[in-house]
Amino acid sequence: MRFTILKAIFKKELLDVLRDRRALISMVVVPLVVFPLLIGGIARLIPAMQTRAEEEASGLNVSVRISTPAIREGLEKAGLRLVDSENVKAAVQSKSAGAGVEEFAGSPPRISVYVDASNESSSAAGTRIREILTELRDREIRDHLRGAGINEDVLTPFVIARVNVAGERKMAGALYGSLLGYLLVLLMCTGGMYTVLDMTAGEKERKTLEALLASPARRSEIVMGKILVAITSILATAVLTLGSMAYTLKNAPIPGPGAGVNAADAPVENLRQRLGTIPLDASNVGLIALIFIPLAIFAASLMFAISLKARSFKEGQTYLTPLVFVVIFPALLGGLPGLKITPALCLIPFFNASQMIHGILTGEASSANFLVTMAANLAYSAIAFQLATRMFNDEKVLFRS
Amino acid sequence: MIQVSGLSKSFTDPKRGTHLAVDNVTFDVCAGEVFGLLGPNGAGKTTTLRMLATLLKPSSGTATLSGFDIVRQPEQVRAQIGFLSGDMGLYGRLTPRETLEFFGSLNGLDAVRARRRIDQVFLMLDMNSFADVRGDKLSTGMKQKTAIARALLHDPPVLILDEPTSGLDVPTARNIEAAVLNAKQSGKCILYSTHIMEEAEYLCDRIGVIDGGKLKAIGTMEDLRRETGKQRLREIFLDLLGLAA
Ligand SMILES: Nc1ncnc2c1ncn2[C@@H]1O[C@H](COP(=O)(O)OP(=O)(O)OP(=O)(O)O)[C@@H](O)[C@H]1O
Ligand SMILES: [Mg+2]
């Protein structure tokens, strides 16, 4: 390898990428907008959906057959529109009422609440009705106790509290880690894809490869120069994605909870608070960066070797698109709950990287798994690089007509 | 300078099976000479030139350029040549100047020398008006001039030019022919493939007629006239191909 030649090839290919709109979009624009859009979308959607369901619920008719006046009164006071009916269940089934309440005589009397669980608004109305009924029952119990001269405290002899030992960081890491690892691996592949395609199949299609091959540059220098540029764009994508994620979660204005929803229950606010506890300190970032490097070399070399087979950019795209799914599938598996990561599982490329990112963020990464991941990905990189170089030396690949 | 001996190339493809694209070709080209490889479509011109430029490996036979063997010393061979392939593209997102700077550094020119040579070839090929326009905005002629400039840039002793004037208008073609004659004057060894009769007659010191991968005849125009008994190159060519004029 001659440094001046390598530098010339690297410089030229990088310039080419920086002027390629398609490559820039997948490398810079997509990583910068995907995450804010995703989080912003979820943040807006969840409260909006809740508010809508609740609004609709309050406008629904409630079909009733109630004999106890106190219950009827309680429901009416809460603002529900009651419609008397002989067959409450049928009314809900036929959607002529959003929900239904039926009282069956007995000791004690039994009250059924009918909902159509497949309908958000009906479910919300059912929840609301149950809340009102529970409140009514509690009030009645308290009244009875007071009448008998007994202190209300007998109702709560002890309090049960649920304490989650996972801790804030682990919870946040679990959420963030699986999302991050998965999205990063996906975006790294798509971010490098256009660069690689343009340098291989694209050059073949535009017939610019021949002049380069007839120059004094060695094949190994050409492959190295081009793959270095591919690695650069993959790493640039990874860094931009990470940065955009961190920025969105820490700073972006996430809309507050919708009207009528208790702040503590707002899932987005909750998510954000948890995510805020993730320590993106130097050692975590450094470890993640270490994971990225062999992964980027492997992805770049593999995509290079595959797209070299294609005669045109389009053909190359059809070869690489399934690769993205092959990569994503194991990365998705990493999100499965209860999956125990063993060193053997760390031999699976891409999956191992998204798992390690997950592990680093939850603080659960074992050094054995880390080492196996690094070693495996480095070995795959070396093999893929060899393959790419071998293909680049094969005239049947370069001059396929 | 170029010595080709018994060069053959066979391709295998699923439809045609194995076939000889170049069949036992032998010729040589001296310094200060333009040798024309004249042949119809599919004759094997491009395949021959690609083997000489070390892009394809010969199935048998070999060749030397400036004494370097194309099979055993491909890197040294590539350092000796300026190569222009018939259907060669240009970097669309780079300007002619950037393209030449890149190839200058691949050929080991330092920045100062590269700049001087770039100015020289731009002047010679009348390229200054579009030197800084991106490749995808250039016309066919401008692109072809850039491709020629790239082959001449590092002042190589051997030029391998595959149909350098194809698709060009007469003024632009003349411009390129002038550059070739200029290179010949300065002692370059030039292998020039074409299927344009006038061009071969006008530019080439000797001509090799190739058809179906085989060299049918080699010589000066005089030699070819004597051999076939015809006067004009067009008639000579058709005669050698076994077609009635
Ligand atoms: N990479 C390849 N694979 C298979 N066959 C090939 C390949 N390249 C060329 N050929 C075949 O070799 C023969 C010679 O082709 P070549 O391109 O050398 O002809 P040519 O003289 O340059 O023709 P033209 O004047 O059309 O440029 C043709 O039959 C062609 O189909
Ligand atoms: Mg040709």
On whether residue B198 sits in a domain, the answer given is yes
* Any B CB within 8 A of A8 CB: yes
The H-assigned helical ranges of B125-169 are 140-152
Arithmetic mean of pLDDT, B54-83: 96
Q: Which of B89, B90, B93 sits opposite A16 (nearest CB)?
A: B93
- Of residues A45 and B97, more confidence is placed in B97
Report the amino acid identity of residue B169: D
Q: Which residues of B166-188 are buried (b: 16+ CB within 10 A; e: fewer)?
A: bebeeebbebbbebbeebbeeeb
State whether A208 and B90 contact (CB < 8 Å). yes
Map tokens 């998204």 to a residue. A354
Q: Which ligand is closest in space to the CA of residue B43?
A: 1
Contacts (Cβ under 8 Å, ≥6 apart) of A219: A213, A389, A392, A393
In this structure, the answer to whether residues A315 and A346 fall within a common structural domain is yes
Domain count, chain A: 2
Supply the ipTM of this predicted assembly.
0.93
User: What is the predicted pLDDT for the residue at B65?
Assistant: 96
A259 alpha carbon to ligand 2 midpoint, in Å?
74
Please give the average pLDDT of every successive group of 10 residues along chain A, which has 401 residues: 94 95 89 80 68 74 88 87 89 88 88 88 87 89 88 82 66 63 82 93 92 94 96 92 77 47 48 60 83 92 94 93 79 65 87 84 84 95 95 88 63
Asked if the Cβ–Cβ distance from A215 to B78 is below 8 Å, we say: yes
Q: How many CB atoms lie within 10 A of CB A205?
A: 19
- pLDDT of A263: 41
Give the Å distance between the CA of B70 and the centre of ligand 2: 20
Note whether residue A162 is domain-resident: no
Owner of token pair 């310039």: A15
Position B216 scores a pLDDT of 93
Kindly state whether residues A94 and A242 are assigned to the same domain: no
A302: tokens are 């593999």
On chain A, the residues whose CB falls within 8 A of the CB of B91 are 12, 16, 208
CATH number, domain of A99, equals: 3.40.190.10
Residue A360 pLDDT: 82
Q: How far is Cα A277 from Cα A246, in angstroms, rounded to an integer?
A: 12
Are residues A388 and A368 located together in one domain of the fold? yes
pLDDT for res A262:
44
- Nearest atom in ligand 1 to B45's CA: 21
Count of the separate structural domains present in chain B: 1
Check residues A271 and B124 and name the one with the higher pLDDT: B124
Residue at B245 is within a domain? no
Token output for B72: 């055993």
pLDDT confidence of residue A42 = 67
User: Cβ A207–B56 below 8 Å, yes or no?
Assistant: no
* Final residue belonging to a domain, choices A120, A155, A190: A155
Determine the atom of ligand 1 nearest the C-alpha atom of B48. 18
Predicted pLDDT at A273:
62
Domain boundary among A133, A155, A177: A155
Kindly state whether residue A163 falls inside one of the protein's structural domains: no
Same structural domain, A262 and A329: yes
| Inter-residue contact A58 to A122 (CB < 8 Å) | no
Among A157-171, A206-220, B45-59, B231-245, the range scoring the smallest mean pLDDT is A157-171
- As for ligand 1, residues whose beta carbon falls within 6 Å of it are A 399, 401; B 11, 13, 21, 39, 41-47, 86, 195
Q: What is the CA radius of gyration of chain B?
A: 18
Side chain identity at residue A289, one-letter code: A
Give the whole-angstrom CA distance, residue A328 versus residue A299: 12
Q: What is the pTM of this model?
A: 0.81
For B146-172, what is the mean pLDDT? 92
Residues A43 and A71 in one domain: no
A233 plus A271 within the same structural domain: yes
The enclosing domain of B19 has a CATH number of 3.40.50.300
Q: Which residues contact A393 (CB under 8 A, 6 or more apart)?
A: A219
Q: Using the structure block, give the residue that is written with the tokens 């200029």.
A: B182
Mean pLDDT of chain B: 93
- Relative to the CA of A399, which ligand 1 atom is closest? 1
* Chain B interface includes A2 (CB < 8 A): no
Give residue A89's domain range. 60-155
Helix (H) or strand (E) holding A237: helix A219-251
Residue where a domain stops, chosen among A155, A181, A202: A155
Paired sense of beta strands B2-13 and B81-84, if any: unpaired
pLDDT-derived band of residue B185, with 50, 70 and 90 as boundaries?
A: very high
> A273 vs B50, which has greater pLDDT?
B50
Say whether A395 and B53 touch across the interface (CB within 8 A).
no
Residue in chain A closest to B104 (alpha carbons) equals A8
CA distance A379 to B52: 37
Q: Do B105 and A8 touch (CB under 8 A)?
A: yes
Domain that holds residue B24: 2-240
